[in-house]
Amino acid sequence: MSEKKSLGEALFVDIESNAYLNELHEKILYNYALKLFQLEKKKSPKEFELKDALRFADLLSKSTHPTRSDIHKMWAQELIILLNEINSDNPLVKLYAGSVFSSTGNHQGLQLINSEYENINTFEKIFAQFRNDYLTIPAAPEMKFFNAQKEAYDHLSDPCFSYSGPTSMGKSFIMRMFIKNEIMHGSQKNYALIVPTKALINEVRAKVIKDLENNLENCNYRVVTAASDIALEEEHNFILVLTPERLLYLLISKPDLQVDYLFIDEAHKLSGKNSRGPFYYKVVDMLLQREQKPHFIFASPNIPNPQVYLRLMNDIIENDDESKLATTYSPVVQVKFLMDFIKGSIDIYNERTNKTIHIANVGKGIDKLNKMLLLFEGKNLRLPPEQRSQTIVYYNGRTKAIAAARDFADSPGVNDKNDPELDSLSRDIMQEVHGDYYLAGMIKKGVAYHIGYLPASIRTRIEELFQKGNITTMFCTSTLLEGVNLPADNLFITDNKIFRRKMNPVDFRNLIGRVGRISYNLYGNVFFVSEDKSVAAESFIDMLQAPVPEQELSITTNPDVLKKVEKKYIAEILKTGSSEIPRRRDDQSDESYVMMRKFGLILLRDIMEERDSLVHREFADFLTVEDEVSIREKFKESPTLPDDDINTSVDQTKKLIIAIKQGLTYPPCNGSFVYADVIEFFNKLSDIFDWPIYEKSTLGSESKRKWYAVILCQWMEGSGLSYIMKRAIEYHKNHPDNFRVSAYQPPTTYNDRSKEHRNVVFADTLEVIENVILFSISNYFLRFSNEYKKVHDVTEFDNNWYEYVEFGTTNPLTILLQRNGFSRESATYIRNHKEEYVVHDGSGGELKLKSSLLTCGNTSVMTEAANIKFNVPGLFLEEDA
């Protein structure tokens, strides 16, 4: 006897194969493409029955199919959005659009489409009101959740929960609204929001402060972004916005700090080959060891099996349906095009049939991407500002992105916009970085690149001006994948790689999801560009057709991530009583090696503490009970035991302690640093920490250490970036040999008359500050300072270079301002205008600033001060009117 089907299943089971619906869809796609490329006068749009298309969209939006309803609803949205673009003045389209968005629960879409639709019959009205109330966001009643958001939100109070959805789902927004609601209802807890990069910390902190504003003071909460924040020394509850590395050091330095909720955004970092992945495993396990465990919430993009991350919990059944949610519903639509300049054709991709529809041949005058971008910019110039589109162009490397940005900005027709905000930012970049920095010139034309480290204030302003529409074209590298929220209408993807590594399906879908953001628009265009034979159009089609596979944890034995032979290699080293884990093979990549070694250090600590962690369990096949007893006995004989800091191992720490006991200290400084002293200290640390083994491509190179020392001295002295750039250029003038313009070109001789060479120095210097000074050197100096305190039995000491690196200065006032939340650049500005804005500088007690700082005229300082006034309300004096 056949199983009974529900009405919804019977009605919608064959709708995707309906020939007439598919014919209508193809015609709508084709006509939309003609309008987008302004080809309607050259090619005739295909005729179709509009009312039929509208009825199909309305029907699909009401799908109740048990497994395909999300797909049907997204198809309905795609049809109605494209119909609205083709027939923007048609009131009937607007009316149907209201019905579609109402049925899909897309209230933001309903507002953006500006429809006058109202439910017709009494039952629909009652149901609509019920759903409206149900989806209302408790902490922001003027806003509504999508169904999938609401479903996830209702699970955030569970002991653990893992959810995934498209990039446009607003996963971090759900977390923030949950935290806001808890705080507004009197909760006195500590919440940790973990983000993948330091650059995202500022963005998320600003959003959290904006969410809560005066509630921070009224409910005694502070937003904290580093273990050095002064708020941690006071009696408050906290919202911690940290990278996993920063959370680790906070847990080590303040072991008694209670964490009630741990939200891990971008949880897919727990999968795949990722040198920073072990930090996630470490902090989760440290918190699991606590008697009062936090709630663990994992959020990831496009993962079909988010429950895999619950394996980190010791007492959770992975297939528990209540603890996971994987949704495919997206409130926005991405229309995909293939732009093949090799064959000279433009096609639109139909995701329902997985086939392309030919739109047009590319004329000889438009044989490169740059010329296509100029067409889009020309179209913008003919439109009023509010109708102009914004474009992001993805390249797989820094050199390519900068070169393409220059090529575009220097093209005829791309002129200065005479925009006061862009001109002001340009002047600030010239002043804070360098007058020859390419970015300073092109920003005046509304063109920018976004490729990694920039001063926080400048980076934030670039992102804000792109969001506002002042900047219309942005060239990016993989920084775009790290959660940076830039609302683009068009995304051009020029490669299927991230640097030299082929994108995996998660990265690919995450990248596509960066266009079309429901806070700003209903849809976005994605253009897959083939300009040379290395990136064929067919490779993009293959990636579009490849589903995101089920993910595995990085610690799981996997020939593409952590190999069986690597696990055995680690186990054999630990069995000998050594914690020194060198590369297994000379050709092992840095990413693979760092990940393997850090997992080895986590394993050793877990063995010593007899912890039943996931990492420990995953090595069970390679270590017997007797092996582990032997390892514990061998390491217990050492005066230095393994600890939770996975940046250094026992062998390194042991040598460090001996050196400190024998008199090693930071070299003396009197506000300035002697280059020769820094080099000598570096060389000693290189021997202690075995940099030639563990930092082979950076600090392990003697010639690179000399270069890093130049930047480090200026950084710790508090020099502005512009001065650091001058010194960097001076260094290369004196050491011109083996200069690399890019990783793809052989070394050459530095030519100071070349603006390109100087810009390579600028980019390299910014990268060194981000990845070497503020990450590697900072971590080593932190270890040195902590061991120095233990050996000398002190809690603080003068001349602490870790502080000087972390804050980029030796000046106490600048440090104190940063500990209260100001960036290095803003803190320096305030110090330089101390007489105008500082009432008490902290030397005799508390720090007090004048409220006139909020109107000081410096855009970045005013923005930061406004946020800090909410987060550290006692910092500002209430001045008489």
Q: Alpha carbon 650 to chain centroid distance?
A: 32
Residues 513 and 391 placed together within one structural domain of the fold: yes
**Token output for 85:** 């673009």
CA dihedral 817, 821, 826, 828 (to 10 degrees): 30
Give the CATH number, domain containing residue 482.
Answer: 3.40.50.300
Residue 755 covered by a domain: yes
425-465 pLDDT, tens digit per residue, is 999 999 889 999 999 999 999 999 988 677 777 888 898 89
Residues 182 and 305 placed together within one structural domain of the fold: yes
Rg of the chain over Cα atoms, rounded to whole angstroms, equals 28
Residues 292 and 362 placed together within one structural domain of the fold: no
Domain count, the chain: 6
Contact 494, 454 (CB under 8 A): no
Residue 127 covered by a domain: no
In terms of C-beta density within 10 A (0-12 exposed, 13-18 middle, 19 or more buried), how is residue 484 classed?
A: middle
Contact 382, 38 (CB under 8 A): no
Residue 667 covered by a domain: no
Residues 757 and 861 placed together within one structural domain of the fold: no
- Cβ within 8 Å of residue 44, ≥6 positions away: none
- Residue 490 φ then ψ, to 5°: -130, 135
Q: Which of 768, 786, 803 lies at the terminal end of a domain, its last residue?
A: 803
Residues 216 and 267 placed together within one structural domain of the fold: yes
In terms of C-beta density within 10 A (0-12 exposed, 13-18 middle, 19 or more buried), how is residue 610 classed?
A: exposed
Using a CB cutoff of 8 Å and minimum separation of 24, what contacts does 669-675 make? Answer: 669/716, 669/799, 669/810, 671/717, 671/810, 672/713, 672/717, 673/712, 673/713, 673/716, 673/717, 675/709, 675/710, 675/713
Contact 348, 39 (CB under 8 A): no
Residues 836 and 723 placed together within one structural domain of the fold: no
Which parts of the chain register pLDDT below 70?
A: 1-11, 115-130, 314-321, 452, 480-484, 879-881
**Token output for 778:** 């900072």
Whole-number pLDDT of residue 1: 40
- Cβ within 8 Å of residue 599, ≥6 positions away: 278, 281, 554, 555, 562, 570, 615
Which has the closest alpha carbon to 736: 721, 720, 722, 747? 747
Residues 819 and 797 placed together within one structural domain of the fold: no
Residues 863 and 846 placed together within one structural domain of the fold: yes
Mean model confidence pLDDT for the chain: 91
Residue 138 covered by a domain: no
Residues 439 and 577 placed together within one structural domain of the fold: no
Cα angle, residue 225 at apex, residues 221 and 229 outer, rounded to 5°: 75
Residue 132 covered by a domain: no
Q: How far apart are CA 169 and CA 109, in angstroms?
A: 13
Cα angle, residue 235 at apex, residues 230 and 238 outer, rounded to 5°: 70
Helices 277-288 & 244-253 angle (0-180, nearest 10): 40
46: enclosing H helix or E strand: none
Q: Alpha carbon 508 to chain centroid distance?
A: 15
Residue 820 covered by a domain: yes
SS3 percent helix, strand, coil of the chain, rounded to 5, is 50, 10, 35
Q: How far apart are CA 182 and CA 179, in angstroms?
A: 5
Residue 552 covered by a domain: no
The one-letter code for the residue type at 219 is C
Which has the closest alpha carbon to 335: 505, 488, 520, 146? 488
Place of tokens 């919430």: 297
**Token output for 363:** 């004329």
Which has the closest alpha carbon to 863: 206, 201, 208, 242? 206
Helices 564-575 & 590-609 angle (0-180, nearest 10): 50
Residues 411 and 289 placed together within one structural domain of the fold: no
Dihedral sign computed on CA atoms, order 610, 611, 612, 615: negative
Which has the closest alpha carbon to 628: 568, 580, 577, 582? 577
Q: How far apart are CA 780 and CA 802, in angstroms?
A: 8
- Residue 335 φ then ψ, to 5°: -100, 125
Q: How far apart are CA 462 and CA 468, in angstroms?
A: 10
- Domain hosting 693: range is 675-803
**Token output for 202:** 């500022």
**Token output for 130:** 């019920």
DSSP 318: T
Q: How far apart are CA 465 and CA 486, in angstroms?
A: 10
Helices 171-184 & 198-212 angle (0-180, nearest 10): 40
Q: Which of 296, 326, 356 lies at the terminal end of a domain, its last residue?
A: 326
Residues 69 and 211 placed together within one structural domain of the fold: no
How many CB atoms sit inside 10 A of residue 867's CB?
19
DSSP 266: S
Whole-number pLDDT of residue 774: 93
Q: Which of 271, 305, 326 lies at the terminal end of a domain, its last residue?
A: 326
Residues 174 and 261 placed together within one structural domain of the fold: yes
Residue 660 covered by a domain: no
Contact 598, 278 (CB under 8 A): yes
- For residue 193, the cross-strand partners are 241, 263
In terms of C-beta density within 10 A (0-12 exposed, 13-18 middle, 19 or more buried), how is residue 795 classed?
A: exposed
